[in-house]
Amino acid sequence: MKVDVLVAEIGSTTTVVNAFFGIHTDSPKFIGQGQAPTTVFEGGDVRNGLNGAIDDLAKKLGVDSIEYNDFFATSSAAGGLKMTVHGLVYDMTAKAAKEAALGAGAVIHKVTAGKLRRTDLKEIKEISPNIILIAGGVDYGERDTAIYNAELIAGLNLGIPVIYAGNIENIEEIKLIFEDTNYKLYIVDNVYPKIDYLNIEPTRCVIQNVFEEHITNAPGMEHIKELVNSHITPTPGAVMEASKLLRKNIGDLMVIDVGGATTDIHSVTEGNDGISRILVNPEPIAKRSVEGDLGVYVNMRNIVNTIGKENLQEELSDINLDEVIENYLPIPKTKEQIILVERLTKEAALRATKRHSGIIRSIYSTSGKSRIAEGKDLTEVRYIVGTGGALTRLPNRVEIMKEIPKNNKNKDLLFPKETVKVLVDNDYIMASLGVLSKKYEDAALKLMLKSLNFKEETLCIQD
């Protein structure tokens, strides 16, 4: 059987393959999904998982083999896109660089502000990042910190890509520092060119391009690169691309993915004009946060302890909590397991949203009481979109997401309003469509709206 496009999502534990047909027509179709263990941590390489997922897809479609015209891939295998980020002031350039890296789909293992210390250098070597991002100084402002940090990083001889996104005055100096090293240097526009102005999109784009060019860390990934005749994107970065495409066509939104190890939130919104006038620091329009302690499988016990085991047992009085925890599975099989996973998913979604969103605070000065806003404003979000295993498969997934605006009891959190609508990525293809959109934007949008059961006549196209 020949399909138009195959998209592989290569994860650390599972590889999924999605097949699409009619990409060049007005009615593109999602025709099936196969999956298999990735096997990287069992002595194999990612090709084993990919071949297994394709075989599973063929079996489900009732055919002997699958051929394709285009093959795309997203990857979070071998720990995903590991980065370290180094800026000048944490709330300014370091934060801007961090936002750019997170939005591109990176897993950030270290962020520093100011001049690097010996302990920082030791930790960078131990992390062994895929990419290092150096920022620092507004344009024509402070120069010395970024130059100092670049010289120390060059001396580590790590032989990995380095992106410089700092003070424009340093560009020639940075080029000289890395000229005779084993690093590959990329120069990008400053992520924080002037006070209270973020410019993270150029850096985000380059990070994804660098990832695609150098994605050889997971065993066998170099062979996947040979198979792919189009883009390879970090999986969270692909979800961000899908989120931005959706926002352009249906309005401001946030996307939640409660996973086994982490909970990711992507929001694409400028927020409320009134809030922006009292905002202490600028926030990106498209923002991603990843909560490494909020996973409903790997970090299940952490969420149980956060709620309180006694409180949880009292709340879930119909189940034997100890017994369910003892027999806990990555994919729940029994009614009791589903009840527990739904409660953990709700907790993860609420806590992750609280960490992602901003807050309004009152401050007191000699001129009296005034209000300030800190963090991301979600009050103009029109849609909450659920993707990932938990929020696309659990029976009460919609009710879980509807709890988010209800948990702003004091109205001091910059949460979505209770009028927000909940959408579900029913086909669980959002990441695949994010990478697909790089070449087939119209088809990706149509497929996304179908997966969300979104009525096209209500589209509100934005600039």
pLDDT at 457: 43
pLDDT at 45: 73
- Evaluate whether 243 touches 356 at the Cβ level (below 8 Å): no
Average pLDDT score over residue span 115-139: 95
Average pLDDT score over residue span 174-178: 97
Position 314 in a domain: no
Position 151 in a domain: yes
Average pLDDT score over residue span 318-332: 91
The answer to whether residues 87 and 148 belong to one domain is: yes
Q: Is the pLDDT of residue 222 over 70?
A: no
Percent of the chain with pLDDT over 90: 68
95: domain range? 81-214
Q: Average the pLDDT over each of 55-64, 247-256, 452-461 and give the range with the smallest value.
A: 452-461
The answer to whether residues 240 and 365 belong to one domain is: yes
Q: 214, 249, 266: which is the final residue of a domain?
A: 214
Average pLDDT score over residue span 231-241: 86
The answer to whether residues 244 and 119 belong to one domain is: no
Average pLDDT score over residue span 212-238: 71
Q: Is the pLDDT of residue 449 over 80?
A: yes
The answer to whether residues 12 and 92 belong to one domain is: no
pLDDT at 220: 60
pLDDT at 355: 92
Position 300 in a domain: no
Position 304 in a domain: no
Average pLDDT, the chain: 89
The answer to whether residues 106 and 29 belong to one domain is: no
pLDDT in tens, 420-441: 999 999 999 999 999 999 999 9
Position 463 in a domain: no
pLDDT in tens, 40-80: 545 557 788 888 999 999 999 999 999 999 999 888 755 56
pLDDT at 462: 46
Q: How many domains does the chain have?
A: 3
